[in-house]
Structure 1
Amino acid sequence: MKPNGTVTEVFLTFLRLGLTSFGGPIAHIGYFRDAFVLRHRWLKDENFADLLALCQFLPGPASSQMGLALGWLRAGPLGAVAAFVGFTLPSAVALVLFAFAATHLSAPYSAGALAGLKLVAVAIVAQAVLGMSRSLCPDRDRATIAVLAAGILATLPAPYAMPIAILTGAIAGWALLRGDAQKTSPLPLNIPRPVALICLGLFGILLIGLPILAGISPSLSLFDSFYRAGALVFGGGHVVLPLLESELVPNLIPHDSFLAGYGAAQAVPGPLFTFAAYLGAGVGGWSGAAVALVAIFLPGFLLLIGVLPFWAALRCHGWAQSAMQGANAAVVGILGAALYDPLFTTAIRHMQDFALALFCFTLLIAWRSPPWIVVLTGLVGGVLLTL
């Protein structure tokens, strides 16, 4: 399918979505379908579903990968860049400004606000664990894989536990689960195979080479940490929490600031991965935020471009679907482990904290309140608890 739009059109369309798309990656997919299938008619529903299946199959931020693919579809490679910038910029700028403002709040308001945002993070991740367990662990085999992954995180040291848990989940899924081949429809993107192979090669070179280079040149350590986190995130943006926590806390970011920023990230529209901008700003200001953003999004984008020409053939194999089901189940266990440590162990100090976190969780689950209302509730509640 030949691109038939302009870069400016793509940027403005995604900027509007970046300013209004509250609710996380699942909600983003709904916004995208409404905008690009129903209203703008950039592609058909079956093509949209096929791209969505690919983005959910790969590690990385699914909604941002969808945006990149849709931008490329509409206006070529520059359209992909425009889609990324438009969708990401509003929340990234907001979180960088929050990182700067948080350091200037006076006590006890600063301590109370940070404590409240940590409790919001507990509620948000608890909601994610509950929702993901229902969809990704619906049977005893996948539930067992999730528990096994949590056990791996509790047993092995942080740098190795995460990839080993995901790999173990994929192997267990391949061995225990039976995936049926699915019919595939032609993808609407024509990316040359040489370009795809270059992207796959670059993904692997950076994943292996950056830790080595960071050991030689510490200036690359920030890029390395965020790149590895982005390369291993299966199952949605919330899973980036334990990955980044193991990389950055407490050497570069204090626990309290880390969890407070994660809570604040729930109040802004756009991709949850822009949490990286907050963390990067805390380490190196605006330049640190830019490095963190590029690094965390880059691996998912390289994989997407690299796999697109081969996706239809890969999806036909039941073993690939089974392995991904196992990896996704392991992700639930990883996120469940993160809900306990570092979230619960550092945010819940007494019964009043637990009550406020439970109230925020109830707002999300029972009242279905927008995330920004839950964040505001946590902020006000946290300040009141410290007075």
Structure 2
Amino acid sequence: MAWVQSFLTALKLGLFSFGGPTAHIGYFREEYVNRKKWLDDESFADLVALCQLLPGPASSQVGIAVGWLRAGWAGSLAAWLGFTLPSAAVMAAFAALYETTPGVAGAGWIKGLELAAVAIVAAAVLGMARTLAPDKPRATIAVAAASAVLLVPHAAVQVAAIAAAAAAGLALRRGKPAAPHGDVAAAANRRGYSRAAVALLAAFAALLIGLPAARALGWLPPLLALFESFYRAGALVFGGGHVVLPLLEREVVPAGWVAPESFAAGYAATQAMPGPLFTFAAYLGGTSFGWAGAAVATLAIFLPGYLLVVGAMPFWQTLRRLPSVAHAVYGINAAVVGILFAALYDPLFVGAVAAPVDFVLAAALYLLFAHWKLPPWALVAAAALAGIAVYGL
């Protein structure tokens, strides 16, 4: 069954996708475009561009969208569960280990995983650049987007860069209306889906407005107050997991749900987790209210992103076939390449490569992945072992 395939594929990605949201895009492209061939580079870049424009966990939203294209509602839920559940469980276990084992955050195997993320994202950026920014105009757009994001490191600049790239594409009037991938066309034409999509977008807005109002009136018990805090954080953050972490600190520490030192321990542990960084919510909710809190916080922080991306999908697929939208997507796709290139440099390269030995190991991992075609899970294992050998336990 298609939804089972979606779940199993996402589960593998959830277990081995280290490196944060930027690295996840590289893993997704390798699995969904190169290996599974469920969609092509253009369709994949369209999804990345859409998810960059929406608030929420961008990499998880890309996975949800791919699951929806593959197997409808069941596929979208299966993709989310597969990608999210492993890291939510590992997050709790690793957070406990971090609190009881000083120095684990600086372990050599974690350094190896950081360098593996550099190699994977580098391969993804170069592969996408060959397809989506192969000529002078699009290469210029990509470099301009990368420059803007690096020089002004704010989540809003990513949205502005994509908007400016869309305007450049309209001015250049290049790019032809795309005939959607077969799965895309079939999914977009499902009977009655547009009405359901409107209902999802309405539910997103109703929860975003209604929950804070009910909390202000004192109508929410503690678990629903927790749900409101995490739903609002997931609904209003642009830029992915790294941006939401300080927002969560303002929600849980002043409220007395999590002690500052416990939050810091969980924050450090999150950097080493596979899968989405938003599963930090499982740690915070569990610290506050046990297993029920972990489940409520995890559901709440991912729900707005799910409602938005699945609700937007049919309209996005319709709009992208219009000539004017095709021109805009021509520029947007190039900007996505630039944004990923900027993220490859900072935080991935800057954070992981601090010495010649780091660069040599990252280059070796890139060679194994891009040219020797080592599978991502094997690359992660090799990187962890290399990290232990080079940097020690």
Q: TM-score, normalised by structure 2?
A: 0.68
Q: Which residue of 2 aligns with 1:5?
A: none
Identical pairs, percent: 32
Structure 2: which amino acid aligns with 1:357? A
Q: Which residue of 2 aligns with 1:248?
A: 245
Q: Does 1:295 align with 2:301?
A: yes
Q: Which whole-Å deviations, capped at 9, do the CAs of 1:67-119 have from their partners, x for residues lacking one? A: 235544xxxx5675456435654565456545554555565795212222221
Q: Which residue of 2 aligns with 1:190?
A: 191
Q: Which whole-Å deviations, capped at 9, do the CAs of 1:194-249 have from their partners, x for residues lacking one? A: 433233345567789999999xx9985654444455xx6xxxxxxxxx64334437
Q: Which whole-Å deviations, capped at 9, do the CAs of 1:268-312 have from their partners, x for residues lacking one? A: xxxx5x4432x334544464576356534643553433442x466
Which aligned pairs between 1:163-312 and structure 2 lie closer than 5 A?
Answer: 163-182=159-178, 187-191=188-192, 193-203=194-204, 222-228=230-236, 243-248=240-245, 257=269, 259-261=271-273, 265=274, 274-277=276-279, 279-285=280-286, 287=293, 291-292=297-298, 295-296=301-302, 298-308=304-314, 310=315
> Secondary structure of the residue that 2:174 maps to in structure 1?
coil
Q: 1:33 to 1:352 in 2, by over 3 A?
A: closer
> Secondary structure of the residue that 1:349 maps to in structure 2?
coil
Q: Which residue of 2 aligns with 1:66?
A: 66
Q: Does 1:325 align with 2:330?
A: yes
Structure 1: which amino acid aligns with 2:157? A
Q: Which residue of 1 aligns with 2:28?
A: 25
Shift of 1:335: 1.5
> Secondary structure of the residue that 2:175 maps to in structure 1?
coil
Q: 1:148 to 1:379 in 2, by over 3 A?
A: same
Shift of 1:50: 12
CA contact (8 A) 1:29 1:63 kept: no
Inter-partner Cα distance in structure 1 for 2:212 and 2:169: 29
Moved more, 201-210 or 10-19: 201-210
Q: Does 1:148 align with 2:144?
A: yes
CA contact (8 A) 1:96 1:289 kept: no
Shift of 1:365: 0.9
Inter-partner Cα distance in structure 1 for 2:169 and 2:211: 30
The gaps in structure 2 that reach 5 residues or longer are: 18-26, 52-57, 216-224, 250-262
Inter-partner Cα distance in structure 1 for 2:355 and 2:34: 39
Structure 2: which amino acid aligns with 1:276? F
Inter-partner Cα distance in structure 2 for 1:14 and 1:156: 37
Inter-partner Cα distance in structure 2 for 1:130 and 1:31: 17
Q: 1:377 to 1:153 in 2, by over 3 A?
A: same
Q: 1:291 to 1:331 in 2, by over 3 A?
A: farther
Inter-partner Cα distance in structure 2 for 1:54 and 1:371: 23
Inter-partner Cα distance in structure 2 for 1:12 and 1:191: 24
Q: How many residues align?
A: 340
CA contact (8 A) 2:228 2:300 kept: no
Shift of 1:386: 2.8
Inter-partner Cα distance in structure 2 for 1:108 and 1:85: 28
Inter-partner Cα distance in structure 2 for 1:288 and 1:334: 32
Q: Which residue of 2 aligns with 1:351?
A: 356
CA contact (8 A) 1:115 1:260 kept: no
Q: 1:14 to 1:182 in 2, by over 3 A?
A: closer
Q: Which residue of 1 aligns with 2:21?
A: none
Structure 1: which amino acid aligns with 2:28? P
Shift of 1:49: 12
Q: 1:111 to 1:85 in 2, by over 3 A?
A: closer
CA RMSD in angstroms, aligned pairs only: 4.4
Structure 2: which amino acid aligns with 1:141? P
> Secondary structure of the residue that 1:260 maps to in structure 2?
coil
Q: Which residue of 1 aligns with 2:254?
A: none
Moved more, 311-320 or 124-133: 311-320
CA contact (8 A) 1:18 1:89 kept: no
Q: 1:180 to 1:33 in 2, by over 3 A?
A: closer
Q: Which whole-Å deviations, capped at 9, do the CAs of 1:143-188 have from their partners, x for residues lacking one? A: 1111111222133351422211121122222222423335576644
Inter-partner Cα distance in structure 1 for 2:112 and 2:32: 26
Inter-partner Cα distance in structure 1 for 2:90 and 2:206: 33
Structure 2: which amino acid aligns with 1:174? L
Inter-partner Cα distance in structure 2 for 1:204 and 1:313: 22
